[in-house]
Amino acid sequence: MKTKKYPHTLFMGHLALEKLLKALVVKATKAHAPMTHSLPFLAEKSRINIPVTIMVKLREFMEFHFEARYPSEQKAFYNKCTKAYTTAKFREMKKVFQWLEKKL
């Protein structure tokens, strides 16, 4: 956020959630986490009871992984990532992260 690289901020937020969910999967299964970037899939594999509101957010946050990586989608995504949009979405990601972290 400080460097004003808003798309990257959201991409890194997605990665943080992905790693946390993978830790929850490992905790639940005692096995390696699946090789995926899908937050909803990892949430299901974590075996924790996740509220619908958080699952909806995890599906929404998937946009930050896909569109941040593929050049054909970057321009539209970059234009969408204003300071206000990124601040709001990052705040939502932080709340979800904190909720999930308590389950670890």
pLDDT digits (tens, 9 = 90+) for 9-64: 999 999 999 999 999 999 999 999 999 999 999 999 999 999 999 999 999 999 89
Residue 32 lies in a domain: no
**Count of the separate structural domains present in the chain:** 1
In a domain, 88, yes or no: yes
- This prediction's pTM: 0.91
pLDDT band at 65 (very low <50, low <70, confident <90, very high): confident
Is residue 1 in a domain?
A: no
Q: Is pLDDT above 60 for 67?
A: no
By the 8 A CB rule, do 101 and 20 touch? yes
Task: Kindly report, residue by residue over 73-92, the tens digit of the pLDDT.
Answer: 778 888 899 999 999 999 99
Phi/psi region, residue 3 (left: phi>0; alpha: psi -120 to 50; beta: rest), is alpha
The answer to whether residue 80 sits within a structural domain is yes
Distances in Å between the Cα of 93 and the Cα atoms of 9, 20, 30, 73 are: 11, 12, 26, 22
**Domain hosting residue 67, numbered range:** 6-27+37-103
pLDDT at 78: 86
Identify the CA nearest to 31 among candidates 46, 9, 41. Answer: 46
Can you tell me the mean pLDDT for 68-72?
A: 62
Residue 21 falls within a domain, yes or no? Answer: yes
Q: What is the dihedral of CA 41, 59, 48, 21, to 10 degrees?
A: 70
